[in-house]
Structure 1
Amino acid sequence: MTLADLSLPNYLGRLTGSMLHDAMEAGDGFATFDCDSEEAFLQAAQEYGVVLPHRDADARGITYLRNTPGLGRDRGIGFTRETLRPHTDRPAIKTPPRVLLLWCRSASTDGGDATVLRGTDVVARLKEIDPQALAAFCEPDAAIFRTGTDEMVSPVFRMHDGVLQEVRLRYDPYVYFAVDAAHALPALERALKEAEQAFPLSPGKGYALRNDLWFHGRRAYSGGREMLRIMIGGKHATDR
């Protein structure tokens, strides 16, 4: 294990399907890892679960997240060098990806730290800061998420008997917050900032997380940073 490995939170070593299963099902839903190649990255994902297609992905389900000016007006923040605020992926669909895998193929010159936030930590901090704000984000109609033809009216934090069941969040022009939630956004921003874990990723390193329980993002960067992303819908039926 190298010093770079020791700086990674929840580091579990080499990426495999079985490691993913243990981290996502028995662990807390977040792990960092190392991986030798794009092929090994895809193989581990396929061993663990069902890889989901995405409009920005190739035929295998891999999306290459890098600065891509040629996309024009349709370019999302993920394809720029700007800060990517804490979010979950695909909140506008009824059943978002359950697990996300991100792997660094080339690092930034400066900046670009990955950021992750445990949903339960954000809820706990928001409850301390402003309980009414937390209640607003737990309302069934707290937010409307829209992407293309997809639309989902949902709480940001879905709770049951005081236990967090799911998080959904995204900041873009097609997300609308209910009045009380909109007024509570400064408190949410503070809770997100105070719950954030940030860490750099060198080439060959990556992380996996439960998209229903964790938020993730990225600091602004310079240089040729490139991350590969795979979305997984769920475990294979034989693992259930």
Structure 2
Amino acid sequence: MPLNAITDDFFQLGPRRGQPGLDRARERIGASLREYGFAGLTGLRTRADVLESAHLLLGELRVHRDSGPDGLTVVRDLGEVAHRAGFGGFGREELLPHTDGTQVAEPARLVLLACQAGARSGGESILVDGSAVLRELASAHPDALTALTQPRAAYFGGTAGHFAPVLRQIGDGRWQIRLRLDPELARFSPDAEPHLPTLRDTVRRHLRTVLLRPGQALLIDNSRTLHGRAAFTGERLMLRALGTPHPRLRLLPGFAAALDARCSHGTEQPCA
């Protein structure tokens, strides 16, 4: 799915709960998540549409600091609030590609981002395939990958944060990515720190942008795909939901990466 053609691949949930076609729509959305790490949705024009779609795809929503009681978060420019650590999403400046919930032990698996009002200019959604980042590091920068896969390679969050590897092998050739590059929200080990320029360059090379129109949304695999936002002007309004995948999406933990002993460098690592 080339991102410059993503509007041709947006899925309409169509028939609602209990009606023919819903399971087929879930299966198509799940196939997109497995292949690309995200899926495009359309027809989410109101808060009620977003909430219904979130329950159809995510099941129980994760209620957290920024969400309402229903699990939806209104993401818009809140002025000075955005200058506080951890609140950068509530501004209009660029938001670096990241994993949602890096500071908790188990980040939500799926992130639903639905556009309700578009920006006057800018505001494109940014996506980075963690699988592509992993493959490039393994083939071109194995020392960086070794450092970034250590259990305490990074510390995310404040006083109640979490130590974790940036890239974690979870068995059966499957991996997870967990990353923030905001200096106030992420600190890296002495072994990992020298490799941050390589990591940033690799992330930048695999960056793609998608301009969502009102009623369009992205469903993102938060264990594979980093997401961010370009700076914008105007009144951009998004609704966000976090949760676990519906069983019909058929998502295994993490994402698959081909393994090759030639890339091991002491431990089994993936080759491109």
What interval of TM-score do these two structures reach, taking the shorter chain for normalisation?
A: 0.7 to 0.9
**Aligned partner of 1:67 among 77, 97, 103:** 77
Alpha-carbon distance, 1:236 to partner: 6.1
Deviation string 1:155-184 (CA, Å, 9 cap, x unpaired) is: 100025693421111133132101121111
SS in 2 for 1:27: helix
Of 10, 32, 54, the match for 2:40: 32
Which letter does structure 1 place at the counterpart of 2:66?
Answer: D
Deviation string 1:7-48 (CA, Å, 9 cap, x unpaired) is 326823214674355434673331111123221111111122
- Which of these residues, 177, 182, 200, is aligned with residue 188 of structure 2? 177
Which one-letter code corresponds to 2:246 in the other structure? K
* Equivalent in the alignment of 2:217: 206
Name the counterpart of 1:11.
9
User: CA distance change for structure 1 residues 70 and 185 in 2, over 3 Å: closer, same or farther?
Assistant: closer
Offset from partner CA, 1:45-102 (integer Å, 9 cap, x none): 1122210001111111111111101537547110011111110000111111010000
Distance 1:118 1:112 in 2: 19
CA shift for structure 1 position 153: 1.1
What does residue 116 of structure 1 align with? 127
* TM superposition score normalised by structure 1: 0.87
Unaligned runs of 5+ in 1: none
Structure 1 residue 94 corresponds to structure 2 residue 105:
yes
Cα pair distance change 1:204/1:217, threshold 3 Å? same
Q: Residues 21-60 of structure 1 correspond to what in structure 2 (within 5 A)? A: 22-24=28-30, 27-28=34-35, 29-35=37-43, 36-48=45-57, 49-60=59-70
- Bigger Cα displacement from structure 2, 111-120 vs 139-148: 139-148
Scaled by the length of structure 2, the TM-score of the pair is: 0.77
Once the two structures are aligned, what percentage of the paired residues are identical?
28
Counterpart CA distance in 2 for 1:120 and 1:10 is 23
Q: Counterparts of 1:9 and 1:142 in 2: how far apart (Å)?
A: 38
CA distance in 1, matches of 2:116, 2:13: 14
Q: Which residue, 142, 152, 155 being the options, matches 1:144? A: 155
* SS in structure 2 of the partner of residue 100 of structure 1: strand
User: Do the aligned partners of 1:119 and 1:214 also contact (CA within 8 Å) in 2?
Assistant: yes
Higher strand proportion (structure 1 or 2): 1
Structure number with bigger Rg: 2
- Alpha-carbon distance, 1:103 to partner: 0.5
Task: Provide the aligned C-alpha RMSD in A.
Answer: 2.6
